[in-house]
Amino acid sequence: MADYLNALAEIISSNVKILGDAYAQDGRKFPSLDEPFAPTKSAEAAAVQEATRLIVAAAAQLTASVRSPLEVLMDQATGMYSTVILSFANDHNVADLLKEAGPEGLDAKEIGKQIGVNGAYVARCLRYLATRHIFREVKPNVFANNKVSSALIKNKPFKDIEADSMTKYDDAPLSALISHTTDEGFIGSRSIIEFMKDSKGYVSPFSMSNQDRANIFEWYEKPGNKWRAHRFATAMKAPAKLWGQGAYASVLDWNSLPTGSTIVDVGGSTGEVTMELARAAPQHKYVLQDLEGAIAEAKRRWASEWPEAINDGTVTLEVHSFFEPMPVKADVYFLRAIIHDWPEADCRKILGHIHAAAKSTSKLILLELVAVHACPDELTGSRTIPYPLLANLGLAVGGFITVVDMQMLAIVDGRERTAGDFEELGRMTGWKLETVKPGPMGAFIFSKVEV
């Protein structure tokens, strides 16, 4: 076995070769970081995704191994600057301005003029980001987009973006997600420690920071927060964009259900999941449930994107709180990214209400990120982790999941759960776990147990 450092280096070099070969087969070269982001078919292949994970895991571990602990710790301790500076660039539409400037880039003074901030400050903020591979400094104090920053580009000319704060992030779910995270997530993060010691009756660190006992979803429904609710609904479209279409439709063979089956998208926001399922299997009936504000948003979305599905009764939009008895006897109840929003007792209420309404043949599908320990556990045997990587592949897999876990703690006192936690939650609420489909989000498929 190679020594520690060489083992990490070998993981990187052998997997870089896999990436290069896959792109070469498609007649392409792997794009450099300087090029704008463009999704490619080559990047979607399973072997490429696995090689990418191993490179990221090994490169991050190699960096942490050779770097001084002082620098590693200072990087973590100064995460607030990353949050604030990224928020500044994203919310001031710098990527959009630089898109119009092209690969030659734009002087920080000119960027500053356009966004109303002194150019000397702009240069320092963008250099901070460029040093972390977001934007690039093409000449001293002149900045252009790169692969990472170009993923923040919105869908309008720079001069039109600020015209309406409601529509600013429309058609740019990743920019909406970054804006939501650096805003609500940041506000919540400030009270995490105090909340963990004593919640003082607040429902989350976010509610404690705001000194408002409403949960974030009730807070979104309050006057003045409509634009944030709209931004959050837009952000919820980001996973489909990041992970590719078809991620939801592939969790079950929808065509194997009897024609006219009823599928409820519980807490479905504006219908990202419903839209994909209804397009894949239009012979069924779909009910999209959420709170009043989200359903009002959903009505606007469906009226513009797919009005026929509403008019012919394929899809029904319904205001319903999942803390009330479930009004629909459905064949499938689909919950994407709902369970991670709530503490255990609330999850049991949600699944209990669904259980009470379900038929004996109904299925429950929970689509969630799956927490994985950083050390070997009882599931390690089914995974092959090359020496000396962490059991959750460090930043490559556990990195994103632990980030979302902290975000759930900060804004809703929710959490990411292990596969065992999902099985246990089902057992406590009358649902037997039948199948787990792996993927960027795990699909946990349960059948009803009479209790």
Ligand X SMILES: C[S@@+](CC[C@H](N)C(=O)[O-])C[C@H]1O[C@@H](n2cnc3c(N)ncnc32)[C@H](O)[C@@H]1O
Q: Quick one: DSSP state of residue 181?
A: I
A 10 A CB-CB count for 276 gives 18
Using the minimum distance from each CB to ligand X, give the nearer residue, 146 or 215: 215
Using the minimum distance from each CB to ligand X, give the nearer residue, 106 or 291: 291
Residue among 185, 267, 430, 442 that touches ligand X (CB under 6 A): 267
Asked if 236 is part of the footprint of ligand X (rule: CB under 6 A), the reply reads yes
Q: How far apart are CA 451 and CA 433, in angstroms?
A: 15
CB of 127 to ligand X, least distance (A): 35
User: Which residue blocks in 69-202 are alpha helix, DSSP H?
Assistant: 69-77, 79-91, 94-101, 108-115, 119-131, 147-150, 158-161, 173-180, 186-189, 192-197
CB of 73 to ligand X, least distance (A): 32
Using the minimum distance from each CB to ligand X, give the nearer residue, 321 or 418: 321
Q: How far apart are CA 406 and CA 7, in angstroms?
A: 31
- 190 to 43, 185, 206, 403: CA distances (angstroms): 37, 9, 8, 15
Binding mask 310-329 toward ligand X (x if CB under 6 A, else -) reads -----------xxx------
Of 376, 368, 380, nearest to 418 (Cα)?
368
CB of 321 to ligand X, least distance (A): 4
CB of 210 to ligand X, least distance (A): 17
Asked if 272 is part of the footprint of ligand X (rule: CB under 6 A), the reply reads yes
Q: Which of 92, 284, 340, 355 is catalytic?
A: 340
Asked if 336 is part of the footprint of ligand X (rule: CB under 6 A), the reply reads yes
> Contact 420/440 with Cβ under 8 angstroms?
no
136-139 sheet: strands from edge to edge: 106-107, 142-144, 136-139
CB of 12 to ligand X, least distance (A): 34
**Is there a catalytic annotation at residue 353?**
no
Report how many residues bind ligand X under the rule CB under 6 A: 17
Stretch that binds ligand X, among 96-104, 143-151, 335-343, 393-401 (CB under 6 A): 335-343
CA atoms within a 13 Å half-sphere pointing along the CA-CB vector of 187:
16
User: Which residue blocks in 306-397 are alpha helix, DSSP H?
Assistant: 307-311, 344-357
Residues acting as catalytic residues: 340
Give the footprint of ligand X on this chain (CB under 6 A). 217, 236, 267-269, 272-273, 290-291, 294, 321-323, 336-338, 341
